[in-house]
Amino acid sequence: MVTLSIAKQTLEDMLRRKILLILLIVAVAMIALGPSPGFLSPRESSAVLRSLGLAVILLAGLLITVLTGIQVIPTEIERRTVYTVLSKPVQRYEFVLGKFLGGLFTVFVMIASMGIVFLGVLRYQEGRFAPEMVQGVVMTFFQMTLLGALAIFFSTFATPVVNFFLSFGLFIVGNMSAVTESLLQNKNVATRVIAGAVHYAIPNFGNFNIQNKLIHPQVVIKDMNVFIMQNIAYALIYSAVLLLLAILVFDRREV
């Protein structure tokens, strides 16, 4: 009950932030205006819309997740609202989990809103519902879940500015998992060690990018559903570990 109350308060607080609403409006506008170019054939226009829609959801989701993740705990400490919360019978783990869930609900609301508009525009453009695109949106959400947990972990000890660069930096490096994976076969031992450390220690964000497979029929994944479930499990387990670390750090933090 306490964790959910904190999560609800966090969601309401974040939804009042103008910057997040502006991001959502811009993203929705970009998706809605996607089919506009009149010089494209219907097939080309559809491919553009699919690429654009998923890319916009990813980019807006990324910004919303990082802005939310880096703020939810430091803002409480900076505004000193944390005093009236942690002086009550609230365990510190409940606070961290509540803040994470509140941020996650915010990201969910934002991505779901963009996803619904995207699927609606696509339905209008193609004249049929495209269920496979839901998979892309779901994967983006779980990618953001993992990123949000990473940002929350950093927020327990780093300033928002440092956290912003750390989270963004690791997201970019984590998206290059294909590169680091290929470097694991390198002849140079040092390169292999470094690539291995980066590949296994940094969250593998690249595996969540299934846009190519969804947009280009020639790219085939053997069993898409299993692949998606594996990545969701990966996101949940990795997020749980990051939250556990965040709780351990925050438990010793003075506010």
Partner 1 sequence: MAAAVSIQGLTKTYLDVWSKTEIRAVDNLVLDVEEGEVFGFLGRNGAGKTTTIKMLLGLIFPTVGSATVLGKPIGDIGAKSQVSYLPEEAYFYEGMTGWDAMDFYARLFRIGEPKRSERIRKCLQDVFLEEQAWRRPIRGYSKGMRQRIGIAQALINDPKLLFLDEPTSGLDPIAHAELREIIVNVGRQGKTVFLSSHQLPDVELTCSRVAIIHRGRLLTLGRTQELTAGDMVEITFSGGDAGLVEKVKAVAGACEAKNGAARAPRVTPKDVNAIVDLVRGAKASVLSVVPHRRTLEEVFVDTVMKAGAN
Enumerate binding residues for partner 1 (CB under 8 A): 1-2, 5-6, 9, 12-13, 16, 79-91, 252, 254-255
> Which C-beta is closer to partner 1: that of 12 or that of 132?
12
> Which C-beta is closer to partner 1: that of 52 or that of 109?
109
> Which C-beta is closer to partner 1: that of 11 or that of 133?
11
Supply the minimum distance, in Å, between the C-beta of residue 166 and partner 1. 22
Name the phi and psi angles at 223, rounded to 5. Answer: -130, 95
**What is the C-alpha to C-alpha distance for residues 112 and 106, in angstroms, rounded to an integer?**
10
> Which C-beta is closer to partner 1: that of 80 or that of 187?
80
Supply the minimum distance, in Å, between the C-beta of residue 88 and partner 1. 4
Q: Is 209 left (phi over 0), alpha (psi -120 to 50) or beta?
A: beta
> Which C-beta is closer to partner 1: that of 32 or that of 158?
158
Short-list 56, 222, 223, CA closest to 136: 56
Supply the minimum distance, in Å, between the C-beta of residue 252 and partner 1. 8
> Do residues 114 and 104 lie in contact, with contact meaning Cβ atoms separated by under 8 Å?
no
Supply the minimum distance, in Å, between the C-beta of residue 16 and partner 1. 5
| Residue 120, both tokens | 């609606």
Residues 6 or more apart whose Cβ sits within 8 Å of residue 111: 57, 61, 64, 137, 140, 141, 144
Supply the minimum distance, in Å, between the C-beta of residue 86 and partner 1. 6
